[in-house]
Amino acid sequence: MLGDGYGFAEGPAADAQGNVYFSDGQNDSIYVWRRGRPPELFVDDSTDANGMMFNAEGRLYVCEGAAHRVVAYDVKTKAKRVLCEEIDGRPFNEPNDLAVDRTGGFFFSDPNYAHRGRPATMKEDVYYCSASGHVSRVSTICRKPNGVLLSADGRTLYVADSRGGCVYRYDVTAPGRLDGERLWIEGLDANPDGMTLDVRNNLYVCCGAAGLRIFNPSARPLGQIDVHAANCCFGGRDFRTLCIASANRFLGIRAEATGMKPLPLRP
């Protein structure tokens, strides 16, 4: 156990050095864990922060669910700017999770969990926001889209449908362009949430109280870790610590696998 006492830990994201940032949406906070040290408060003004990821410039992209937007933090100054907050003049429901590509654009899910009493503003779908800020709807199949994950080469997108108990897979043909929609993992008997990959392209799917489930590149189950798991990523100096957001706790498991690293920083 790396840390505990959080309202609900979520959205772990590693930076280029393997430090892992994670959110506590119930307390509008983001923390950072550095190996050998307890987690430290990063900011306490991120409105219902959830899924996060670093871009190639080292900025931290954050889904702020209760603010219905996605923002970017400069981790040195802690200043943030809004990346997107509406489509066609309509505000998003609750941006939940995201995956940043090499162009600076990002895919993100927009479910509605009625946090803080907010009704749904529109259908729950998956979107893409380009580096210039243009937003487009890219996937409509999920009943409640949640976890969103890009492969290391940026050619494959995974989307978890928490209400459907399944994971979809897409081919990414260009920034924000998807093709080959297919049901990849089904019958989970659980509510899939955040996901990560290791360097062998094994997929780690967090399923809440039903544990963390691992699948090989052919979608065959490899095993399960029996902890409450909302989201996960690899971090630490060698990216072999599997970090798990686990309700009020933040956990780390030393792994034999090496995890997928963040986007390489641009010079």
The pLDDT tens digits of the residues spanning 40-68 come to 999 999 999 999 999 999 999 999 999 99
CA 191, CA 145: separation in Å to the nearest integer? 10
| Helix (H), strand (E) at residue 211 | none
Residue 34's pLDDT band (cuts 50, 70, 90): very high
Q: How far apart are CA 99 and CA 219, in angstroms?
A: 20
Rg (CA), the chain: 16
Q: Classify 208 as helix, strand or coil.
A: strand
DSSP 8-state secondary structure symbol assigned to residue 20 = E
Average pLDDT over the chain reads 96
**Cβ–Cβ under 8 Å, residues 60 and 52:** yes
Tracing tokens 């095993």 back to the chain, one arrives at: 223
pLDDT, greater one: 122 or 4 = 4
Q: What per-residue confidence (pLDDT) applies to 114?
A: 79
Q: Which residue, among 209, 244, 263, 228, has the nearest Cα to 22 in the 3D structure?
A: 244
SS3 67: helix
pLDDT bin (cut points 50, 70, 90) of residue 241 is very high
Say what the pLDDT of residue 121 is.
79
Compute the Cα dihedral for 88, 94, 99, 103 and give only its sign: positive
Question: CATH code for 3-254?
Answer: 2.120.10.30
